Chains A and B, each alone.
Chain A
């Protein structure tokens, strides 16, 4: 083959190439006539049209079999995870007390997050449920009956409720006593604690850090979460569901130090440290970093 290539000059190669792209003699574009290209295009149009149709059909059939209210399987949701508010990139809550712009985004985020928790809204939308037990609402024959949610009043978060004067309210960020909200992930039909009371505990991850981190105040007291907020029935039927939260206030955290804080849910039947620490590190707990500066 190499022998043939050597014999052809550059000009010949170019001419051949040009003839391949458009051959005026046979009226061929890229080696095919217009009608040939047309047929091929038509074939692929039909072929892909058919495949697209088939795809749509099978997807439609599949979606028909999926219940829009309750997921078919919850294979991966045996233990709910936990999360903090405000959300910080990399779960790294860092701010400078004296520089307003470093913590204002957190304050805004908390304001926004807590808006649905306003006592007035809760009173208007949600029911006062019996504390201390699960608020079960069976369907009683009628599938997917809308469910009522239980009240969670913003005021129960104490100093972290952010109910101060709108202009001076900083959730403690302005004074170096920041609040962080901790919540449990919503999982449909999840009953935590096996009928026993549950609560959230927070602590420094490393023991040496405990003293530097200072005292933590939890709201509601003890970080307890009432069982009446469970189970969750899904966003379609449980429209105004208010996720219970626990606020943690760091009353006297040492400035300039990175604190590792871990909050975990204390409930019976919780899976502890999983077999795979890396994958299960958010099973019933959340780790975040807190670093505040005072300069």
Chain B
């Protein structure tokens, strides 16, 4: 077939290459289609409450037009109002867009890739080409350390190993050869994939696929085919917007009908409608939510959780299932020696990230022998110039297992390179797949011992075959069947833990047969390779990160189910799952039960098994109902050997259960699932660009434990947003009531539309952001994740409590101030009722007050009324802020310094507006007599006391309404 291919695509004339390039396009992945910036911007302009405000603005302009045509006295008020409303929408839109863009930009820097070069043979000449110029049929050469520039079929390979972990999730490098070994292109040995790396060896291959047609490209297109789900917080905010808009529109329409039937002019009714809409819509809220989210995002970034999509900040808090990739996320993504077996005993090694010593018993002479083999029979070397780095952080040239052994030896014995130098190597046979062993012969460092030492390591069964004795406590003993049995048990046990086991043996070559001058020939093998002395076993695994078990148990107590989804083998997966607590120590799978009871698997009642390990092959034959059953009935699940599509199916399955699913992953194979998940979490260090692009969040330290921090922050911000919204909604009633009473009782308008905007976008902004700094009231990590159907951001209770209780109290307080101001200036409450038409008639210059005085200066007075109403709402919002700080705890139980900033800013802004800008006509403020600031204070205190009593009841009788 290779012949065929080369003849079909002669790596010949450059013209041909150019032709193919023109046909197939450059060898690069098409970047995912980004939404045009203008569309993103416009979305901000019409999303949320913007539509309502636009309607308000348009109505204002319409009434301006009508009034202008009718030659009314001051039509420009409505023009200004319309402009202000439009400005509010545009400014909040720009703000939201800016925030969104800022968090996206952080990511843009990630995705910049260094242009890659490829070594190509064209026209019989080797040349360096940019990798995107490759075409199908090109012959490329790769060597250890290179990234594979396209999907290639190998025509020559020498000791070639590729790291497919980003594609398949296998943590071990896979060897590659020219042999066709499997139908499945992912399994066969003679294909190397685009974007994976060649770890060692060299190879030459023919490009068979480029760009989007590569396996990676197909996964990438699978990713872009997955729609973006709305984040839970977006759903919640939408729900809230609908609720408020519903209230606004129904009250607006109701009062439009009422005012029309009360024989108000249509134009007036429209102006009332605008007022009602403006009063109902919390103009500043969406901006506040954005600020609060970005504050949390910043806080999380400090803790190594970089949030790409602001809304994802909260998603993590509502997460109920985490589907975690294994390699690199739960594990350290490096082979480490985990167990040793010598002297008929298994020893555990420390596998933590920053090991400096090994605690197991090293006094046995067997260990001395074993350590010598480990040190000498190893080709891996540290890159020079890293003496100051901790051993575990040093870069090693060599394959994963040898690296593990080298580091292991370095930790225990110290300077390995020096030991090797003292035990000069005289011959070596490197590992190959037919021998399955590695051998080297050394001079010893003992000057009195002239013997050569032959050391060998390899697949344990192959090593054992070559041995006739076994070392026990430093003494060679014959390898009888009993000892062979012990070996088998140990080997099975270590293998059963998902570890890769290597056997070690040695032989001191007799001095008489192999004198000092003996010339060893590795081709003719003029030395013994059997009847050796077996010394021990070492097993290696990609060990879990030390912080993971704790994080998993924290997730557990927070009610989050952690599912492992990996491309790796079931045994390894299960072992890691057990060691990190994804499968807890006491729970059993169906297979475990079968083994314990000694019955066939089919006879086991699967309901008894709390844990399950599902193989990708089994998953392939499952219907979605069966998958649902597994997801429902097992609390501890591991999916192994899964393909990218299957990861997607698993995520969808969890979502079908109503779960909010977080997916963590680093590889390209994870990216479709990352995209599909409610929140995709990519690894910042080990993660591929594809994974980072598909994710909503990036863990900068690759540490699963950071997720727990994220969950905590997410839950906190949800609680705090609830407080912010409750705080904001309350005053809407105090802004709305004036309009309703103005329409019904025809009193002078208590508060103007512009003034309302000054509350919503002025005094209230900083306090509502301050609520985002509120600390958790109870241990939020011991709570179950919120049920996204029941625990809404804004529920009936919150709305009713804000609207019908606190809001009404605020309105009463503000109205008392309003009536006080009017009464003390000459208009007693009885005079005010029903005066609206004459009051607003600019031609009536002698409007009579309660004392017989005549007024033309009513507009001033009305503005004083606005200011008084505004001040009262502000004062009572201080009380509202204090009560919203906590939902259960008394304010005496919980402090928050930022709240003070909120309170002072609120009062400060009100003072500036009233006294500083009191003379600017367009703002409708007038300087207010100082005592009016205190009229509403008793009501503010009442609000606080009322809420403290409510909280007391809630603490005393938890659970009741």
Chain A positions near chain B (C-beta within 8 angstroms)? 1, 3, 44, 47-48, 51, 54-55, 58-59, 62-63, 66, 69-77, 80-83, 87-91, 183, 185-188, 232, 234-236, 238, 241, 276, 278-279, 282-283, 286
Please measure, in the bound complex, the distance between the C-alpha atom of A77 and the C-alpha atom of B74, giving whole angstroms: 23
Contact A81 B823 (CB under 8 A): no
For the complex, give the distance between the alpha carbons of A93 and B659 in Å: 75
Q: Are A186 and B854 in contact (CB under 8 A)?
A: yes
Can you spell out 22 A-B residue pairs with CB atoms less than 8 angstroms apart?
A3-B656, A47-B805, A54-B942, A55-B815, A55-B816, A59-B816, A62-B819, A63-B823, A63-B828, A71-B849, A71-B850, A71-B851, A74-B826, A74-B853, A82-B845, A91-B845, A186-B852, A186-B853, A232-B853, A234-B851, A241-B852, A276-B921
The verdict on B824 contacting chain A, using a C-beta distance below 8 Å, is yes
- Tell whether, in the assembled complex, residue B828 and residue A279 are in contact, meaning their CB atoms are under 8 Å apart: no
A235-B852 contact, Cβ under 8 Å, with A51-B812, A75-B825: yes
**How many chain B residues touch A (Cβ–Cβ < 8 Å)?**
42
Contact B921 A73 (CB under 8 A): no
In the complex, which residues of chain A have a beta carbon less than 8 angstroms from the beta carbon of B921?
A: 276, 278-279
A235 touches B851 (CB 8 A): yes
C-alpha gap A268/B417 in the complex (Å)? 109
Question: Across the interface, do B826 and A71 meet the contact criterion of CB distance under 8 Å?
Answer: yes
Residues of B within 8 A of A77 (CB): 826, 853, 855, 857
A83-B826 in contact given A55-B812, A185-B853 (Cβ < 8 Å): no
Contacts of B859 in A (CB 8 A): 279
Bound CA span A282–B856, Å: 7
A81-B855, A234-B851 given as contacts; is B825 within 8 A of A76 (CB)?
yes
User: Does B622 sit within 8 A of A, measured CB to CB?
Assistant: no
Assess whether A81 is in contact with B826, with CB atoms less than 8 Å apart: no
* Contacting pair B849 A51 (CB below 8 A): no
Q: Tell me the complex Cα distance, A48–B938, Å.
A: 17
CB of B845 within 8 A of CB of A83, answer: yes
Chain B residues whose CB sits within 8 angstroms of the CB of A91 once the complex forms: 843, 845
CA separation between A3 and B235, bound complex, in Å?
A: 14
- Residue in chain A with minimal CB distance to B820: A62
Residues 326-359 of chain B, each 1 if its beta carbon lies under 8 Å from chain A, else 0: 0000000000000000000000000000000000
Find out whether the CB atom of A62 lies under 8 angstroms from the CB atom of B857.
Answer: no
Is there an interface contact between A1 and B825, defined as CB atoms closer than 8 Å?
A: no
**Complex CA–CA separation, A286 to B846 (angstroms):** 11
* Nearest CB in chain A to that of B842: its residue: A90
The 6 closest A-B pairs by CB, nearest first: A235-B852, A81-B856, A185-B854, A282-B856, A71-B826, A83-B846
Closest to B824 in A: A72
Q: B residues within 8 A CB of A88?
A: 843
Mask, B828-859, CB within 8 Å of A = 1, is: 11000000000000011110111111111101
* Contact among B789, B808, B812, B854 for A81, CB-based, below 8 A: B854
Highest count of chain A CB atoms <10 Å: which of B235, B656, B854, B861: B854
Q: Which residues of A contact B789 (CB under 8 A)?
A: 1
Q: Is the CB of B929 within 8 A of A188?
A: no
Residues on B facing A (Cβ under 8 Å): 74, 235, 656, 788-789, 804-805, 808-809, 812, 815-816, 819-820, 823-826, 828-829, 843-846, 848-857, 859-861, 864, 921, 929, 938, 942
Known: A76-B825, A80-B854, A234-B853. 4 other contacts (CB 8 A): A62-B819, A73-B929, A186-B854, A278-B74
Question: Given the complex, which residues of A lie within 8 Å of B855, measured CB to CB?
Answer: 76-77, 81, 185
> Which B residues touch A73, using CB under 8 A?
824-826, 929
Who on chain B is nearest to A55 by CB? B812
- Assuming the contacts A58-B816, A77-B853, asked whether A51 and B809 have C-beta atoms less than 8 A apart, the reply is yes
Bound-complex Cα distance A234 to B859 (A): 22
Contact at A66–B828, with CB atoms within 8 Å? yes
Q: Are A183 and B846 in contact (CB under 8 A)?
A: yes
| A66 with B823, Cβ < 8 A, contacts A51-B808, A279-B921 known | yes
Distance in angstroms between the alpha carbons of A186 and B844 in the assembled complex: 14
Nearest Cβ on chain A to B559's Cβ, whole angstroms? 21
Min Cβ gap A242→B in Å is 12
Contacts of A234 in B (CB 8 A): 851-853
Q: Given the known A-B contacts A48-B808, A72-B824, are A238 and B845 also in contact in the complex, defined by CB atoms under 8 Å?
A: no
| Inter-chain contact A238/B852, CB cutoff 8 Å | yes
* B856 partner residues in chain A, CB cutoff 8 A: 81, 83, 185, 282-283
* Chain B residues, Cβ within 8 Å of A89: 843
Nearest CB of chain B from residue A276's CB, rounded to whole Å: 6
**Docked CA distance A219–B609 (Å):** 110
Question: In the complex, what residue of chain A is closest to B860 when comparing beta carbons?
Answer: A76
Asked whether, in the complex, the Cβ of B852 is within 8 Å of the Cβ of A232, the reply is yes
Give A276 to B854 CA distance when docked, in angstroms. Answer: 20
A187 touches B846 (CB 8 A): no
B628 to chain A: closest CB distance in Å? 13
Q: Which residue of A lies closest to B229 (CB)?
A: A2
Q: Which residue of B lies closest to A2 (CB)?
A: B230
B74, B828, B851, most chain A CB atoms within 10 A: B851
Which chain A residues lie closer than 8 Å to B857 at the CB level? 76-77, 81, 279
Name the residue on A nearest B938 (C-beta): A58
A81 — which chain B residues lie within 8 A by C-beta?
Answer: 845-846, 854-857
Could you tell me the distance in whole angstroms from the C-beta of A7 to the nearest C-beta in chain B? 11
Across-interface contacts of B938 in A (CB, < 8 A): 58
CA distance A282 to B860 in the complex (A): 13
Give the residues in chain A near B864, CB-CB below 8 Å. 75-76
Complex Cα spacing A180 to B229, Å: 75
Chain B residues near A51 (CB-CB < 8 A): 808-809, 812
CB distance from B789 to the nearest CB of A (A): 8
Chain A nearest CB, measured from B826 CB (Å): 4
Q: With a CB–CB cut-off of 8 A, which chain B residues contact A70?
A: 851
| Residues on B with beta carbons closer than 8 Å to the beta carbon of A75 | 825, 864, 929
Instruction: Report how far A109 CA is from B329 CA in the complex, Å.
Output: 91
Q: B392 to chain A: closest CB distance in Å?
A: 47
Residues of chain B within 8 A (CB-CB) of A286 are 845
Residues in A with CB closer than 8 Å to B816 are: 55, 58-59, 62
Q: Which residues of A contact B820 (CB under 8 A)?
A: 62
> Which chain B positions have C-beta within 8 A of A62?
816, 819-820, 823
* A58 to B829 Cα, complex, angstroms: 13
Scoring A59, A89, A283 by chain B CB atoms within 10 A of each residue's CB, the highest score goes to: A59
How far is it, in angstroms, between the C-alpha of A199 and the C-alpha of B288 when the chains are bound? 60
Residue in A71, A88, A90, A278 with the greatest tally of chain B CB atoms within 10 Å: A71
Q: Whole-angstrom distance between the alpha carbons of A232 and B820 in the complex?
A: 24
> Which residues on the B side are within 8 Å of A183 (C-beta)?
846
Q: Name the one of B809, B824, B854, B860 contacting A71, with C-beta atoms under 8 angstroms.
A: B824
Chain A residues within an 8 Å CB radius of B826: 71, 73-74, 77
Query: Nearest Cβ distance between residue A56 and chain B, in whole angstroms?
Result: 10
Distance between Cα atoms of A81 and B855 in the complex (Å) = 7
Given the complex, which residues of B lie within 8 Å of A241, measured CB to CB?
852
Residues of the B chain whose Cβ atoms lie less than 8 Å from the Cβ of A47: 805
- List, in ascending order, chain A residues with CB within 8 A of B829's CB: 59, 63
Q: Given the complex of chains A and B, what is the CA–CA distance between A58 and B942 in angstroms?
A: 13
Give the docked Cα–Cα distance between A1 and B789 (Å).
9
Asked if residues B845 and A44 are in contact (CB atoms below 8 Å), the reply is no
Assuming the A-B contacts A47-B805, A62-B816, A81-B856, are A185 and B828 also in contact, with contact meaning beta carbons closer than 8 angstroms in the complex? Answer: no
Which A residues are CB-close (under 8 A) to B824? 66, 71-73
A282 touching B845 in the complex, CB below 8 Å, given contacts A75-B825, A76-B857: yes
Tell me the minimal C-beta distance from B807 to chain A in angstroms. Answer: 11
Least Cβ–Cβ distance between B910 and chain A, in angstroms: 20
Closest chain-B Cβ to A71's Cβ sits at a distance in Å of 4
User: Closest CB of chain B to A37's CB: distance in Å?
Assistant: 13
A185 to B856, CA, bound (A): 9
Query: Which chain B residues lie closer than 8 Å to A283 at the CB level?
Result: 856
Chain B: minimal CB distance from A286 (Å): 6
Provide the bound-state CA to CA distance between A83 and B860, in Å: 18
Residues of B within 8 A of A69 (CB): 851
A32 to B829, CA, bound (A): 40
B852: chain A residues at CB < 8 Å are 186, 188, 232, 234-236, 238, 241
Interchain CB contact (< 8 A) of A279 among B788, B823, B845, B860: B860
